[in-house]
Amino acid sequence: MRLLHSLYLALSLLILICSQLAYASPDFGPVDMGEFYLNLPNVDPEAKLGTVVKAEKIAVKMPGVQAWKIAYISSDVNEHKTLVTGILAAPTTPAPVNGRPIVAWAHGTTGTAQTCGPSQVTDPAQPLNQYFLMNGNSWTDFGLPAMDAFIKAGYVIVATDYQGLGGGGKHQYTVAATQGRDVINSLRAATQIKEAGAGTQSIVYGWSQGGGATLAAAGLNDYLTAKGSANDGIKIVGFVAMAPFDIAATLPAEIKTEAQATQYLQALGKTFGDNIFNFTHYAQNIWGTVAAFPNLKIEDIFTPEGAKAVNTVMERKCMHVATDTFNFAFGDNYKNLLRSDIKNALAWIEANKKGSVNPVKPLAPVIIYWGDKDVTVPPFMGKLYYDQMCKMGGQVTRVQLPGNQTHFTTPGSAEPLYVPWVADRFAGKPVANGCGR
């Protein structure tokens, strides 16, 4: 019995020590960035949106493809100028006289630290490579879905990292209005690399976080058509959203008081507190929303210990590593990092509305692909968006993927369906309106 008691005490001490490691370890300084990202210029507030401020050609394994890392000017939900990184891929064959069509990829969640941009992965210009799938070979998701088909069709592919994932500043995670702007400006930037031969006709396609960015971009017609950018002639002819989120569409209209807002946010915290993976997404959401709206504070939602943990982890680690860190440091006690007495709740609701999808008729046809086994981004978000936009006269189609598709099998399952849809939009064929079906 004494031996068991001693072992129990030793184990308890070990758990206590491990729970303190996040704060007891030495400070290793800022995250380590590659040379391309370390030597970026400061943001010129007078620079035109979409201006490429740095470009570097990179090697590509796929034959017939040339690619570049790029850094370009964008702006966030508050119209503050930002510097955003990404990659650009194009065929090596001569471009047509009117230029090549452009497809802009909006990636899913990779994290919040400066090192979480997909362009920073070794050999980033390759087909989509997913962490959770058996053939994934990296610590993150990266790559360009349908790359082979799009390159063979003669398209240019541009893929933003989003603001805060390589170009400086704090990443405004799930602030779709910011990421939608980053996508639009990536299209403008693509036309600045003359060797790529990009034209002005374009399509946006995205998944998960990028699905929300895609829906947000579809509601930014005034932003797209504003004069004075690096290219005012960009014409977007369609949007492909895979497993998209739309926070604003889910907010009950009856939230008018602080008490109602508090009750809603408490329920939201419980929903996302069901497992450590979803909790990490929620922590990233809170951290990213504060980055966009400085009137909010991490301490509004998290306890002092939780706020310290979230700030420490989100500045340094990407999605899956962040999940492991929370799990290691707190185990099943991670739920205790959330406040029961949420502060400033109504301001949080208003920020979520402003940072979400603009409730206006989409500027071009939208098609949404979803799987019935998606428990990461609930498909009802896409359904609420569909209902809202159809009432406004938008051309929106919603397609349930065949079989039991999860959040992470959605991109691969949707690819054979959206590739011909994209080709039809570039060909100018009429699109059937899915509203009312």
Domain coordinates of the chain in residue numbers? 47-246+356-426, 249-353
- Sequence-ordered list of residues with C-beta below 8 angstroms from that of 3, at least 6 positions apart, any chain: none
The least confident of 31-45, 160-174, 299-313, 420-434 is 31-45
CB neighbours of residue 39 within 10 Å:
10
What percentage of the chain carries pLDDT values higher than 70? 93
Residues 171 and 169: their CA atoms lie apart, in Å, by 6
Say if residue 4's pLDDT is above 60: no
Q: Identify which has the larger pLDDT, 6 or 67.
A: 67
Say if residue 19's pLDDT is above 60: no
What percentage of the chain carries pLDDT values higher than 90? 88
pLDDT of residue 26: 53
If you average pLDDT over every residue of the chain, what do you get? 93
Q: Identify whether the C-beta of residue 93 lies closer than 8 Å to the C-beta of residue 87.
A: no
Query: Which helix H or strand E contains 248, and what residues bound it?
Result: helix 247-250
Q: How confident is the model at residue 37 (pLDDT cuts 50, 70, 90)?
A: very high
pTM: 0.93
The model's pLDDT over 199-242, given as tens digits with 9 standing for 90+, comes to 999 999 999 999 999 999 999 999 999 999 999 999 999 999 99
Helix axes 2-24, 304-314, angle to 10 degrees: 60
Strand 366-370 versus strand 198-207 pairing type? unpaired
The tokens of 364 are what? 């071009």
Buried b (16+ CB within 10 A) or exposed e, 139-164: ebbbbbbbbebbbebebbbbbbbbbb
The least confident of 11-15, 161-165, 173-177, 288-292 is 11-15
The model's pLDDT over 123-159, given as tens digits with 9 standing for 90+, comes to 999 999 999 999 999 999 999 999 999 999 999 999 9
- Give the CATH superfamily of 47-246+356-426: Alpha/Beta hydrolase fold, catalytic domain (3.40.50.1820)
